[in-house]
Structure 1
Amino acid sequence: MLKNEELIRFGVSFPASLLEQFDQYIKEQGYTNRSEAIRDLARKAIIEPSRLNPDDNVAGVIIMVYNHHISDLPIFLKNVQHEFHHDIISTMHIHLNHTQCLEVVVVRGKLVNLRSLHQQIQVQKGVFYAEMSVTYLDDSLPGDQL
């Protein structure tokens, strides 16, 4: 929220049981009031990848867990990342145990390209988990306002 942005008050009706669960949620998350929690939930809903235009510039991460013993999977993952090198900022590779690896790929680019990268990863045999999380990137703002 911008410094001088006007706050508008509005009412929200909840069933008692849902409000009780929501109050427990905001307590667990460390919010000091319901308004802060509702604002964050609204922001999250607005930047949901399904609401973004495929040509929007976004930044985010692709997180994957995979079995590195599956033949050619590590080679495929390395090659597909090379194909998308313009969209990949950084990667972090962690050995979880003898079989599983966790990889975090930091990405920035057109949503359509990043969806393609994510899809190519998630359908591979031996990839247990692959999730992409992105946020809208406003390239028109100066760096200090991002």
Structure 2
Amino acid sequence: MADKEELTRFGVSFPAPLIEQFDEYVEEQGYANRSEAIRDLARKALLEPSRLKSEQLVAGTIVMVYDHHARELPLLLMEIQHDYHRDIISNMHVHLNHNQCLEIIAVRGQLARLRQLHQQIQVQKGVTYAELSVTFAEEEHAGDQHDHHQGHGHR
């Protein structure tokens, strides 16, 4: 948090069992106090993909687990990713076991397009898990036509 940021105080009422659980969470996560934990939870809630506007520029990840023995699935997933090459910054592929692969795709672009990419991945037969997580949102700048992708390697 910036040093010059003005803080606003407000009161929050919790039932006793909930505040006990919350205090345990604060301690487990290593927060100095309840306020820091509440600020982080508020920031996270404000970045929920369902809350953001479709045209907003965001960055985040798509995490998926799939059966690489599923007929033609690895090739199909690669083709889908090529269709969204302007939105994909990078990806990491991990072999979990003999049958399953974990893939983490770093994405940046218009939220509507990232939702489409996620949806196309999650409906494929053999994909057992797919989640879009947005970790950053930015204001759209005039003339920003994915210039941020220049010079980044793709797999």
| TM-score interval for Structure 1 and Structure 2 normalised by the shorter chain | over 0.9
Q: How far apart are the structure 1 equivalents of 2:123 and 2:61?
A: 17
Structure 2 gap ranges (5+): 142-155
Pairing 1:50-65 to 2, within 5 Å after superposition: 50-65=50-65
Give the secondary structure class of the aligned counterpart of 2:28: helix
Give the secondary structure class of the aligned counterpart of 1:50: coil
Pairing 1:106-145 to 2, within 5 Å after superposition: 106-134=106-134, 135-139=136-140
Of residues 128-137 and 68-77 in structure 1, the stretch that sits farther from structure 2 once superposed is 128-137
Corresponding residue of 1:47: 47
Corresponding residue of 2:18: 18
Q: TM-score if structure 2 supplies the norm length?
A: 0.87
How far apart are 1:2 and its partner, in Å?
Answer: 2.5
Q: Deviations over 1:46-104 (max 9, x none)?
A: 11111111000000000000000000110110000000000000010000111000000
In structure 1, what residue type is equivalent to 2:50? S
Aligned-residue CA RMSD (Å): 1.0
Q: How far apart are the structure 2 equivalents of 1:111 and 1:37?
A: 27
Corresponding residue of 2:101: 101
Q: How far apart are the structure 1 equivalents of 2:100 and 2:89?
A: 23
- Any conservation in 1 of the 2:81–2:88 contact (CA below 8 Å)? yes
- Any conservation in 1 of the 2:90–2:106 contact (CA below 8 Å)? yes
Corresponding residue of 2:81: 81
Q: How far apart are the structure 2 equivalents of 1:66 and 1:20?
A: 39
In structure 2, what residue type is equivalent to 1:6? E
Corresponding residue of 1:72: 72
Structure 1 gap ranges (5+): 141-146
How far apart are 1:136 and its partner, in Å?
Answer: 1.1
In structure 2, what residue type is equivalent to 1:127? V
Corresponding residue of 1:144: none
Q: How far apart are the structure 2 equivalents of 1:2 and 1:53?
A: 26
Q: Deviations over 1:10-37 (max 9, x none)?
A: 1100000000010111111111100000
How far apart are 1:9 and its partner, in Å?
Answer: 1.2
